[in-house]
Chains A and B, each alone.
Chain A
Amino acid sequence: MKKRPIALLLVLALLGVGVFVFADRNTSRAEYGDITLNRHAEKAGMPPVVFPHWFHRIRFKCKVCHPAIFEMRAGSNDITMKKIVNKQFCGRCHNGTISWPPLYCDRCHAGKSDITIPKARGFVK
């Protein structure tokens, strides 16, 4: 009879903490179609780049960037910061005229080494 309030206490405390933890709305997560770029980033001591396709797709049609700026095959674009600053690749827009300039490292270098991008359901290579 005496143990019951303690059990109840524990359950309620856990529930309270659970709500506290899982209601965190500010957790960012990867989306379907996101691309990680890590050929040079981590070797140079920077976190991998996460490219959000969806965000750009709302604003531009595919043909704006493909294939003139980015070849449509993973691994076929050798992107470096130097090239971006020289207005190639991302720098075609991210130069302060069409979009913000490449001065805010953590906006793109936002990935962790073990980042997982959601894969398509069903057929996955």
Chain B
Amino acid sequence: MKSRSRKYLPLLIPALAFALGLFVGTGGAWAQDKGAAAPADQAAQPAQSDEEFFKSLIDPRQAIWMDSRGNVAGTGDPNSFAGEAFKVGRGPHPEALELSELPVDQYGLVDWARSIREGYITPRHTLDPAKQDKPDDKPFGLALLIPTKSESMPDVIFPHDIHTMWLTCNNCHPEIFAMNGKLNNKVMTMPKIAAGEFCGRCHNRIAFPLSDCTRCHVQDKGATVPEGVKAPN
């Protein structure tokens, strides 16, 4: 009996190390779960919002505020936190992109088109205080059919609509795209786009990558063009 317990004694140390690793590693998650569960416990007490509850947890002298990259951005009372923006409630930053819970595409990159269409985000359209309360200009709806030079690749339908939700005309015209569809179609090629011209000025850099072929190449050759899509004349 004694020899048996001695045999398993060395196991105790790594087991403890493992348990310690697990405890420290998942500590954050446990703390978060606790935080999420706590307001439910408090539900019996009325007139205390989640926000108030979380504020009551913070000792202002002990609080450490993180920026978007997880670095310490400030310490102490949030009401004396740097910047007027923070005082009016635009902060603190989410720690990282994955915590913002925006919809993602097949690569796990943020699907910005869905984000703005479905109202996950409402980005501001101007810095001018006089114009801020006014709604943004309506998106320009024209969709253009851009025939491909390859027989095997479906044609592109370019939606002005989603682009003008983000951008204004002079972001692209006339510097990147001339105001002449026929001319553009002649000179635009996929290798040039991949090299950072035309669509490649934004796509593959900030906007979704070019490897997501079927997000642009949607119109099979020979199929009827949807109504409202303007074919090159």
Contacts and interface: CB of A to CB of B under 8 A. Distances in A.
Interface of A: 5-6, 8-13, 15-20, 22-29, 31-33, 50, 52-55, 57-64, 66-67, 72-73, 92-93, 96-101, 103-104, 106-107, 110, 120-125
A56 to B, nearest CB: 9
A73 B209 CA distance: 17
Interface of B: 7-8, 10-11, 13-15, 17-22, 24-26, 28, 67-71, 73-74, 82-86, 90, 93, 96-97, 100, 102, 107, 109-110, 112, 115, 121, 123-127, 136, 165-168, 170-171, 194-196, 200-202, 204-206, 209-211
B209 A103 contact: no
A110 B166 contact: no
A61 B165 contact: yes
Nearest to B136: A61
Contacts of B84: 96-97
Q: Which of A27, A28, A29 is most buried by chain B, counting CB atoms within 10 A of its CB?
A: A28
A63 B166 contact: yes
Contacts of A122: 204, 209-211
A57 B123 contact: yes
Contact of A31 (B10, B97, B125, B171): B97
B69 A120 contact: no
Nearest to A62: B166
A98 B85 contact: yes
Contacts of B10: 5-6, 9
A98 B129 CA distance: 10
A33 to B, nearest CB: 4
A23 B165 contact: no
B210 A123 contact: yes
Contacts of B24: 20, 23
B73 A107 contact: yes
Contact of A104 (B18, B82, B115, B136): B82
